[in-house]
Structure 1
Amino acid sequence: MGTAKIGIVTVSDRASAGVYEDLSGKAIIDTLNEYLLSEWQAVYEVIPDERELIEATLKRLADVEGCSLIVTTGGTGPAKRDVTPEATEAVCDRMMPGFGELMRQVSLQYVPTAILSRQTAGLRADTLIVNLPGKPKSIRECLDAVFPAIPYCIDLMEGPYLECNEAVIKAFRPKNNAIDKQRRMT
């Protein structure tokens, strides 16, 4: 299947305006570099909290760039300009609520304000889109929780095979997974 393309989208008015450095998007890239043994290419964007722009970016990364996974950071809180979940829902065919539920559950172990987070995930054709919080520490905690399910989700959508560094994170794939066996042989 070649090199997997993964979209990394930081949604932040200030980072997109250059007021501060985007540490969140870089934290996602660093984490994925630790997780993945497979070759992958980041398609990295830093955009303001504008719903139409978020929707257009997600569509372009999925439909034109061919990203099998898009991970967003930022815009998931209760502030008026936090519209990443709404943009994600608008472009997805089907929602995957378990991702947000698990991320909030994990984050609640660290901060009581995790209940204010509105992270979600969904599917747009052959692309999984996952919304993460905006803080690098929270990004890692949430990715550590949900990433074990991501490679198998992408397998089921017939996307690229993502092989993980099991010393860092172990992807869950059923033991008698025909998709897994077929992909490893090709």
Structure 2
Amino acid sequence: MAEQYRAVVVTVSDRCAAGEREDAAGPAVAGLLRDNGYDVRAIEVVPDGIDSVASALIGAADSADDIALVVTTGGTGFAPRDLTPEATEQVCERRCPGIGEAMRAASAGITDRAWLSRATAGIRGRTLVVNLPGSPTAAVENLAAVIGPIGHGLKMLRGGQADCAREQG
């Protein structure tokens, strides 16, 4: 990646937010982002729920820090308080369903539980928001599956030129 994009990681977990469990997923995801050239500005921990997640997403995307990518980890399953996708869709102007589809397809090669993920992605202004599972291993596997396309998407979102050879047809 030629340009270094700024990123924020948001861990969504009642137990981590309450200090009952250490956040392992956020630092794991931040490590993968850094390994791929991203400038990770923060790892935040918020409790589950639409309001707390939406507030964190808006705070990062609308900050003066010009955050290009916000990655959440947690809150994408079937539990009653797993509402990260709903919060993401509430604050984003445009959906990016292919990112969630690609992550589920890649993860399905590892576990059939991948099909239970409700992870989604969307665009708020000039910021891409991507949901990941809460498990550190699953979060890293899912992000690794889409890290290349995300870089290209950010280039387009932020006014870069498309690779014409790939767009023909």
Q: TM-score, normalised by structure 2?
A: 0.89
Which stretches of structure 1, 4 residues or more, deviate above 3 A after TM superposition?
none
Q: Deviations over 1:130-177 (max 9, x none)?
A: 0001111111211111111111111111179xxxxxxxxxxxx73659
Which position in structure 2 is the counterpart of 1:15? 16
Deviates more, 1:87-96 or 1:99-108: 99-108
1:83 equivalent in alignment to 2:83? yes
Q: Is the Cα contact below 8 Å between 1:71 and 1:130 reproduced in 2?
A: yes
Q: Is the Cα contact below 8 Å between 1:10 and 1:74 reproduced in 2?
A: yes
1:174 equivalent in alignment to 2:163? yes
Which position in structure 1 is the counterpart of 2:49? 50
Instruction: Return the offset for 1:91.
Output: 0.3
Instruction: Return the offset for 1:5.
Output: 2.1
What is the identity percentage for the equivalent residue pairs of Structure 1 and Structure 2?
Answer: 43
Return the index of the structure with the highest Cα Rg: 1
Deviates more, 1:104-113 or 1:90-99: 104-113
Instruction: Return the offset for 1:112.
Output: 1.4
Query: 5 Å matches for 1:26-175?
Result: 26-36=27-37, 40-64=39-63, 65-158=65-158, 174=163
Alignment partners' CA distance in 1, 2:144 and 2:99: 12
Equivalent AA in structure 1 for residue 108 of structure 2: L
1:24 equivalent in alignment to 2:25? yes
Gaps of 5+ in 1: 161-172, 178-186
Q: Is the Cα contact below 8 Å between 1:5 and 1:43 reproduced in 2?
A: no
Q: Is the Cα contact below 8 Å between 2:34 and 2:40 reproduced in 1?
A: no
Equivalent AA in structure 2 for residue 43 of structure 1: A
Q: TM-score, normalised by structure 1?
A: 0.81
Gaps of 5+ in 2: none
Alignment partners' CA distance in 1, 2:85 and 2:156: 23
Alignment partners' CA distance in 2, 1:120 and 1:113: 16
State the aligned residue count.
Answer: 162
Alignment partners' CA distance in 1, 2:92 and 2:68: 13
Instruction: Return the offset for 1:70.
Output: 0.3
Q: Is the Cα contact below 8 Å between 1:15 and 1:22 reproduced in 2?
A: yes
Instruction: Return the offset for 1:25.
Output: 0.1
